[in-house]
């Protein structure tokens, strides 16, 4: 290993890359990781000097509070490479703001902006070869924070670890998915942590999603916890409905994640002259629209999948199939977003952030 130093990051480079052992044409999402990772510890009331070192296991005390009280938050981002070899991030300022918002809700100290961006960019420069050009290829980035203090008393930790790991990725969902409208289980509740990317939010989804999968459905569209009458999110994604030529999506609240892809689609819809209503969406409204032929499409939106069309939904024992039109909004928005992210289309809103 060779050791170098940037302005604020201590760097230990891997002696040998493992990239030649990876089949980039056959990637399973989130199972292969690059040569390096970013690590920064919070101790004595402040964030210490960050470091980048070879990706690998780490030692952590079994009494670390993260294992017992779930103090953990994370983000999902992607890096892209154009055909000239230039590397870009997509709206990384949004991810930085959101991880600190999530941290504050979980009583975790906020992370410094300068460390976040220098860490990301230094890591991407070191592992640039892992970012493959071409639409559909990307490097998925996972910043996260965990409570590391070895203590099992029920209170916030005093030590934490902030990390960034990277995983080469292709399309998350290759086909349209079938979903169930939730009638019993809830993703989050009023006053809770649904708006935060807290680890426990996702762990709580696994059991009801497994039940749905046993019935032949890939995901759940979550409904409000109080009445299960209003549609809010699709699995780990935000959700859009096209009724006629109009888009509808649920408003942000303390149950719904403020998705970067979601807000980008709302802006793109405005750019294209597509009406988009941000309001509560009832289960009955969507069922009625499906019955009378007004419901043209449903799609999820998120960093991993970008845009994921939904081919059918089930509620109260009845399945409703979608027509899957060739000129779907899902295809239009996905093409536009990927074009911006890969530097193949104009970026009129300044969303691309070049890593130089």
Pair (9, 105) in one structural domain: yes
* CATH number where 49 lies: 3.30.470.10
Question: What is the tens place of the pLDDT at every residue in 244-283?
Answer: 999 999 999 888 999 999 999 999 999 999 999 999 999 9
Pair (143, 220) in one structural domain: no
Please check the confidence at residue 1 and state whether its pLDDT lies above 70: no
Q: How far is CA 48 from its chain centroid?
A: 27
Pair (217, 149) in one structural domain: no
> Of 121, 143, 169, which marks where a domain is finished?
169
* CATH number where 333 lies: 3.20.10.10
CA distance 171 to 168: 11
CA distance 167 to 34: 6
Domain with 110 in it: 2-169
> Of 169, 200, 216, which marks where a domain is finished?
169
User: Is residue 355 in a domain?
Assistant: no
CA distance 124 to 118: 10
Domain total for the chain? 2
User: Is residue 282 in a domain?
Assistant: yes
Instruction: Check residue 305 and give its pLDDT.
Output: 87
Pair (256, 213) in one structural domain: yes
Instruction: Check residue 224 and give its pLDDT.
Output: 94
Question: What is the tens place of the pLDDT at every residue in 325-349?
Answer: 788 999 999 999 999 999 999 999 9
Pair (157, 205) in one structural domain: no
Please give the average per-residue pLDDT across 50-64, as a whole number: 98
Over its C-alpha atoms, the chain yields an Rg (Å, rounded) of 21
Instruction: Check residue 8 and give its pLDDT.
Output: 86
Instruction: Check residue 37 and give its pLDDT.
Output: 98
Pair (72, 164) in one structural domain: yes
User: Is residue 212 in a domain?
Assistant: yes
Question: What is the tens place of the pLDDT at every residue in 273-299?
Answer: 999 999 999 999 999 999 999 999 999
Pair (119, 101) in one structural domain: yes
Is the distance from CB of 269 to CB of 247 less than 8 angstroms?
Answer: yes
Please check the confidence at residue 7 and state whether its pLDDT lies above 90: no
Is the distance from CB of 217 to CB of 180 less than 8 angstroms?
Answer: yes
CA distance 352 to 229: 38
Pair (28, 159) in one structural domain: yes
Going through 235-305 in order, the beta strands assigned E by DSSP cover 237-243, 246-249, 276-278, 281-282, 295-302
User: Is residue 116 in a domain?
Assistant: yes
> Of 111, 137, 169, which marks where a domain is finished?
169
CA distance 199 to 116: 20
Please give the average per-residue pLDDT across 193-212, as a whole number: 94
Structure pTM? 0.94
Please check the confidence at residue 134 and state whether its pLDDT lies above 50: yes
Pair (209, 335) in one structural domain: yes
């Amino acid at each position: 290993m060779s050791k170098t130093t940037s302005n604020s990051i201590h760097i230990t480079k891997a002696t040998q890359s493992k990239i030649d052992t990876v089949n980039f044409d056959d990637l399973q999402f989130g199972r292969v990781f690059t040569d390096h990772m970013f690590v920064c510890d919070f101790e004595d009331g402040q964030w210490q000097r960050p470091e980048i070192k070879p990706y690998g296991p780490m030692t952590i005390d079994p009494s670390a509070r993260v294992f017992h009280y779930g103090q953990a938050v994370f983000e999902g981002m992607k890096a892209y490479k154009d055909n000239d070899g230039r590397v870009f991030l997509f709206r990384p300022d949004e991810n930085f703001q959101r991880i600190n918002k999530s941290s504050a809700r979980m009583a975790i100290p906020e992370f410094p902006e300068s460390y976040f961006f220098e860490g990301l960019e230094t890591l991407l420069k070191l592992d640039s070869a892992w970012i493959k050009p071409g639409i559909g290829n990307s490097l998925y980035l996972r910043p996260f924070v965990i409570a590391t203090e070895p203590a099992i008393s029920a209170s916030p930790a005093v030590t934490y670890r902030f990390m960034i790991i990277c995983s080469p990725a292709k399309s998350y969902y290759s086909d349209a998915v079938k979903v169930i409208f939730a009638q019993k289980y809830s993703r989050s509740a009023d006053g809770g942590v649904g708006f935060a990317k807290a680890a426990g939010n996702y762990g709580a989804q696994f059991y009801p999603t497994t039940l749905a999968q046993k019935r032949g459905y890939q995901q759940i569209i979550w409904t409000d916890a109080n009445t299960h009458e209003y549609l809010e999110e699709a699995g780990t994604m935000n959700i859009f409905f096209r009724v006629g030529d109009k888009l509808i999506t649920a408003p942000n609240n303390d149950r719904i994640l403020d998705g970067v892809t979601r807000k980008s689609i709302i802006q793109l819809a405005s750019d294209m002259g597509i009406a988009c209503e941000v309001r509560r969406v009832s289960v009955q409204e969507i069922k009625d629209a499906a019955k009378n032929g007004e419901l043209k499409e449903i799609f999820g939106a998120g960093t991993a999948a970008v845009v994921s069309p939904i081919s059918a939904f089930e509620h109260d024992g009845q399945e409703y199939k979608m027509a899957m039109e060739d000129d779907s909004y899902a295809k239009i928005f996905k093409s536009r977003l990927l074009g911006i992210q890969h530097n193949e289309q104009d970026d009129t809103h300044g969303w691309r952030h070049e890593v130089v």
